[in-house]
Amino acid sequence: EDKVVQSPLSLVVHEGDTVTLNCSYEVTNFRSLLWYKQEKKAPTFLFMLTSSGIEKKSGRLSSILDKKELSSILNITATQTGDSAIYLCAVVWLEYGNKLVFGAGTILRVKS
């Protein structure tokens, strides 16, 4: 069965720390992997990664896909309290258009 596993499930860090969130997947006919940030309401899109292996960056956030390891990491440098959220990873199946399979998420709490 196709699945997406995120780790750690939760972590607490102090402002200024760097964190690395992991996402591994077992999905046949992989198409792309997406990262979302979810605060109190709806998930908001962060990055889309493909098998090209190109790193994506946005400010203090960056992400890359390792197609050999079937995994992706999301890095956040110089964390701020506003980074506290649930970070969701989702994988797109090639056969189903852009139907997403989500991981359970990583709960990140940044303490001041």
Partner 1 sequence: NAGVTQTPKFQVLKTGQSMTLQCAQDMNHNSMYWYRQDPGMGLRLIYYSASEGTTDKGEVPNGYNVSRLNKREFSLRLESAAPSQTSVYFCASSEIRGSTDTQYFGPGTRLTVL
Q: How far is the CB of 30 from partner 1 (least distance, A)?
A: 11
105 near partner 1 (CB under 8 A): yes
Q: What is the total count of residues that contact partner 1 (CB under 8 A)? A: 25
112 near partner 1 (CB under 8 A): no
- 14: β partners: 111
Binding to partner 1 (CB under 8 A): which residues in 25-64?
31-32, 34, 41-45, 48, 50
Q: How far is the CB of 59 from partner 1 (least distance, A)?
A: 18
* Choices 13-21, 55-63, 69-77, 92-100; region in contact with partner 1 by CB under 8 A: 92-100
Burial class (CB in 10 A: 0-12, 13-18, 19+), 78: exposed
C-alpha dihedral sign at 84, 82, 12, 92: positive
Helix (H/G/I), strand (E/B), else coil: 34: strand
Contacts of 93 (CB under 8 A, 6+ apart): 2, 27, 28, 29, 30, 31, 99, 101
Q: What residues line the site for partner 1 (CB under 8 A)?
A: 4, 6, 9, 31-32, 34, 41-45, 48, 50, 88, 90, 92, 97-105
